[in-house]
């Protein structure tokens, strides 16, 4: 057998990656109706998920928190033929109830709910955890980033039939200390734990609840975390796959979890992180 030329390996890899970007999975989400929260711009993880769902045949409703965000979200949502684009600040019960009522005007059921929301006051995301984690920062981070999953799940449950699913986005800072991630790590731990409790509870109604633990990505939310830029370049060297992930990786994972491919998967935290979470000490040198 002739030895493999490294150049051929590179060419094959490049071709596979190009195919991957164009890949379609034959209408995995055909007929499904998905509510997408958390699009802020075209770098948002939720936007990559929305595009993938749309490409696979889903109908979409988008939510945004407040007028300032609407200007960013509306053009993106309209480009995918959104059935509705709704104001919903998840820190407000009235907003959540109104969003459900508005969804009822266009659909009689919801098959997928994407929770892609995270927020903590900026001052809490830089510096020593004990010093910067005020009662108010804790309350806001927990409310917006973790409780909102429970609040949205409860509100949308009456519209969800057996086979429906909910997915949210977490990060490794829920499991291990990531400096400066601080109270967001605590909130993500609550989000992941809530995923398990909701999965058990809503499993009785045939509704699945899962979470994607994504590797670091340059998005608006991430820009609020001190040292993010350095962390991204260091991370790319340390993951088993020696690279960072992309928003589209989360989108493909969401397709798996929210389509019938994942029909017996629930309460799971799926790491989409180029293997980052399995690494302990990177180098003994
Ligand atoms: P992003 O800034 O694009 O999305 C965050 C979204 O949260 C925004 O659309 C914002 O409007 C929304 N939001 C904030 N407060 C809200 C409120 N009160 N009501 C409703 N929506 C509100 O950034 P992203 O990185 O795409 O974040 C999406 C999710 O992914 C978040 O849960 C984030 O913690 C998680 N995540 C991000 C990374 C990363 O490195 N970027 C890694 C792992 C997990």
Sheet of strand 165-170: strand arrangement: 84-87, 59-64, 33-36, 112-115, 165-170, 208-214, 269-272
Residues paired with 151 in a beta bridge: none
pLDDT mean across residues, the chain? 93
Distance CA 169, CA 150 (A): 14
Q: Percentage of residues in the chain with pLDDT exceeding 70?
A: 91
Taking only the tens place, the pLDDT of each residue in 260-273 is 999 999 999 999 99
List phi, psi (to 5°) of 213.
-95, 105
Ligand 1 atom with least separation from CA of 220: 2
Ligand 1 atom with least separation from CA of 69: 11
Nearest Cα residue to atom 29 of ligand 1: 116
CB-ligand 1 contact for 221 (6 Å cutoff):
yes
Q: Is 181 a catalytic residue?
A: yes
Q: Is 197 a catalytic residue?
A: no
Task: Give the per-residue pLDDT at 229.
Answer: 84
Distance CA 12, CA 37 (A): 37
Ligand 1 atom with least separation from CA of 216: 40
CA distances from 158 to 147, 153, 200, 204, 215 (A): 19, 9, 17, 13, 33
Contact 60, 34 (CB under 8 A): yes
Residue 33, classed as helix, strand or coil, is strand
CB-ligand 1 contact for 90 (6 Å cutoff):
yes
Taking only the tens place, the pLDDT of each residue in 29-64 is 999 999 999 999 999 999 999 999 999 999 999 999
Taking only the tens place, the pLDDT of each residue in 9-28 is 454 555 455 444 445 899 99
| H runs (alpha helix) in 23-92 | 45-55, 67-79
Closest-CA residue to 45 (of 248, 229, 271, 274): 248
Taking only the tens place, the pLDDT of each residue in 128-178 is 999 999 999 999 999 999 999 999 999 999 999 999 999 999 999 999 999
In the predicted model, is pLDDT for residue 2 greater than 50?
no
CB-ligand 1 contact for 224 (6 Å cutoff):
no
Per-residue pLDDT, averaged over 81-99, amounts to: 98
Task: Give the per-residue pLDDT at 23.
Answer: 58
CB-ligand 1 contact for 91 (6 Å cutoff):
yes
Task: Give the per-residue pLDDT at 21.
Answer: 43
- Name the catalytic one among 171, 172, 197, 256: 171
Best substitution site from 37, 38, 40, 119 to test ligand 1's pocket, by max atoms within 8 Å of Cβ? 38
Task: Give the per-residue pLDDT at 228.
Answer: 84
| Residue with the larger pLDDT of the pair 3 and 149 | 149
Distance CA 128, CA 68 (A): 32
Report the separation in Å between the CA atom of 84 and the middle of ligand 1, taken as the mean of its atom positions.
20
Find the distance separating the first CA and the last CA of the chain, reported in whole Å: 36
| Residue with the larger pLDDT of the pair 7 and 160 | 160
Task: Give the per-residue pLDDT at 133.
Answer: 98
70, exposed or middle or buried, with CB in 10 Å at 0-12, 13-18, 19+? middle
């Amino acid at each position: 057998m002739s030895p493999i030329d490294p150049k051929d390996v590179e060419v094959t890899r490049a071709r596979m990656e190009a195919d991957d970007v164009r890949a379609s999975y034959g209408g995995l989400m055909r007929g499904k109706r998905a509510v997408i929260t958390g699009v802020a711009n075209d770098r948002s993880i939720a936007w990559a998920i929305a595009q993938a769902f749309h490409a696979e045949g889903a109908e979409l409703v988008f939510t945004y928190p407040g007028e300032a965000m609407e200007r960013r979200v509306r053009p993106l949502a309209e480009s995918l033929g959104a059935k509705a684009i709704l104001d919903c600040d998840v820190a407000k019960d009235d907003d959540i109830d109104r969003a459900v009522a508005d969804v009822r005007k266009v659909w009689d059921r919801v098959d997928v709910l994407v929770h892609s929301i995270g927020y903590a006051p900026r001052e809490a995301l830089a510096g020593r955890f004990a010093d910067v984690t005020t009662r108010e920062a804790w309350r806001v981070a927990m409310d917006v980033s973790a409780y909102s999953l429970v609040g949205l799940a409860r509100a949308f449950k009456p519209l969800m039939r057996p086979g429906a699913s909910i997915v949210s986005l977490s990060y490794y800072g829920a499991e291990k200390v990531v400096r400066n991630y601080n109270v967001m790590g605590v909130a993500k731990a609550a989000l992941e734990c809530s995923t398990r409790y909701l999965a058990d509870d809503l499993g009785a109604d045939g509704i699945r609840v899962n979470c994607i633990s994504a590797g670091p990505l340059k998005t608006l939310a991430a820009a609020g975390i001190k040292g993010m830029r350095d962390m991204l370049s260091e991370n790319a060297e340390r993951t088993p796959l020696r690279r960072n992930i992309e928003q589209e990786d989360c989108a493909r994972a969401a397709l798996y979890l929210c389509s019938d491919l994942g029909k017996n998967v629930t309460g799971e935290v799926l790491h989409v992180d180029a293997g980052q979470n399995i690494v302990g000490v990177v180098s003994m040198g």
